[in-house]
Amino acid sequence: MYNQILLQLDGAGSGIMGQVFLFGSIILIMYFFMIRPQQKKQKETTRFISEIKKGDHVVTVGGIHGKVFSVEGDIVQIELDKGIKLKVEKSALSLDYSKKLNNGK
């Protein structure tokens, strides 16, 4: 009877190590498939917003297409058509759609 209890205790130690390894593996997988790509996308978006200049073709998050007329701090003035201008925050510009627009040319 005591031998069975001791054998069960020895097995429990390796089970705990297996669980720790499994939990660590799950965290590592989550980092590489979820956290790291999100950080990379955030850096690209920050770089895109900081490099906006007059003449760039952009798309807002709401889907409005236009050409950058002027940049004043965090405000971007977009020319939609001749004489029609719209003021938006830099954060309202979409990196993904602007990429597609510029790659399509």
Distances (CA, A) of 60 to 2, 36, 40, 102: 72, 25, 21, 14
Q: How many domains does the chain have?
A: 2
Residue 96's pLDDT band (boundaries 50, 70, 90)?
A: low
Asked if 42 and 62 sit in the same domain, the reply is no
In this structure, what CATH number is given to the domain that contains residue 62? 2.30.30.30
Asked if 28 and 70 sit in the same domain, the reply is no
The per-residue pLDDT for range 24-77, each reduced to its tens digit, is 999 999 998 999 999 998 999 889 888 898 988 999 988 899 999 999 989 999
Asked if 28 and 60 sit in the same domain, the reply is no
Q: Which domain holds residue 25?
A: 1-51
CB-neighbour burial class of residue 64 (10 A; exposed 0-12, middle 13-18, buried 19+): middle
How confident is the model at residue 18, as a pLDDT?
Answer: 85
Asked if 58 and 101 sit in the same domain, the reply is yes
**Is-above-0.95 flag for pTM?**
no
Asked if 43 and 73 sit in the same domain, the reply is no
